[in-house]
Structure 1
């Protein structure tokens, strides 16, 4: 009888262990999934922010051209200059959003973009302050003096967006692989506990049956 009790106690222990392990592993897998999802969302948000910053930068350059071509009177000048500055602020805002989504190792790359954009905007405004837009000739001279200075900065975006998209895809693939491995380990461990519990339960019942038969035989 003592053996039967011990076997049943061990079986109950493994049943409890199975339940607790299932809860713990399920919680661990869920936490890992939540963390991975947050990281993926941040990376995706960074990609969208960089794309939007690139779009707003192109609009900013267009506003600059509008300023040169149409800002001949004070009202038009202030309107297009205001539009240029607003676009500049939007670019900075989207770059700042992207920086938040980057880890500490990648943030310097975004910081460099922010600094370069600020310097570029300052160059445009400084050139504008030292020029006159009263004649077509002056406008052409001003335009030629800074022609193409936006291209090096503009060319940074496609490669950066491409790298971000690749990083997002790789991150998603790695997280899926980790999830599959964790799920496999989870299933193996639970299966092991269930098998052990079942064996001890069977052994306990078998011992009980043998003991009962023995007692009946003795009587």
Structure 2
């Protein structure tokens, strides 16, 4: 009886220390797992926001390409309006101003497309946009030269149109190809971004699972050791 009495305070002290160690280990494990969980959420959110920002740039570039395409079609229509109604000075001025406005819009959209293409690391597309802008400027000069020659004599829209017939096809085809390339690049980018996000999620999920399992194993080991000592000294 005296032996058990002398051992009880020491046993209780060791048990108390074991429980303190166990509690400390649990607290550390919870902090580590919690911090990693917060990091995982932050990392996934940052990757998602980054991918969304790039995807937005692709969509803006696509909008620039399609807008350039639309404004060029309107510009060509204004050219036809000039030919149809240009015999009257007032009508000529009205439609020529509209022609120049659409021309300016095409240049603005192509310049924006070039900048955005470089921003999303598509140098080939940026170079294509620059080439289309150069071709478009040259086309405008050809239209103006035809009008200047046509206005030196009796107004003949058929003769003026004959000088520039079909010159818009190449640029129109180029703008179509840019729009198609952007659609393809946008779809590919979204697919790659989704794949990257899934890969990151699975990697963080697996690491989180192993971290929790490791923490539980450590806590279990400490508890098992404490119980074993208590049993051995009881």
TM-score (norm 1): 0.89
Superimposed CA distance per residue, residues 163-206 of structure 1 (whole angstroms, 9 cap, x where no aligned partner): 11111111111111111110000111110110011111122222
Q: Quote the offset at 1:5 in angstroms.
A: 5.9
**CA distance in 1: counterparts of 2:41 and 2:87, whole angstroms:** 68
Alignment equivalent of 1:42, drawn from 47, 57, 64: 57
What does residue 95 of structure 1 align with? 110
Would the aligned equivalents of 1:7 and 1:200 in 2 still touch at CA under 8 Å?
A: no
Distance 1:113 1:4 in 2: 76
Runs (5+) with no aligned partner, structure 2: 1-13
In 1, Cα distance between equivalents of 2:126 and 2:20? 63
| 2: CA distance, partners of 1:155 / 1:7 | 73
Match runs of 1:1-20 below 5 Å: 1=14, 9-20=24-35
Higher relative contact order (CA 8 A, sep 6+): 1
**Is the radius of gyration larger for structure 1 or structure 2?**
2
Once the 2 structures are TM-superposed, how far is the Cα of residue 26 of structure 1 from its aligned partner? 2.0
Q: 1:194 aligns with which of 212, 215, 224?
A: 212
- Structure 1 CA distance for aligned equivalents of residues 219 and 23 of structure 2: 6
State the Cα RMSD in Å. Answer: 2.1
Task: Return the offset for 1:212.
Answer: 3.5
Question: For the residues of structure 2 that align with 1:180 and 1:192, how far apart are their CA atoms?
Answer: 18
Q: For the residues of structure 2 that align with 1:80 and 1:93, how far apart are their CA atoms?
A: 20
* Displacement after TM superposition at 1:96 (Å): 2.3
Task: State the shift of 1:110 in Å.
Answer: 1.2
Q: Equivalent residue of 1:130, what SS?
A: helix
1:47-126 equivalences in 2 (<5 Å): 47-103=62-118, 105=123, 106-126=125-145
Task: Quote the Cα distance in structure 2 between the aligned partners of 1:8 and 1:14.
Answer: 10
Contact 1:72 1:134 in 2 (8 A): no
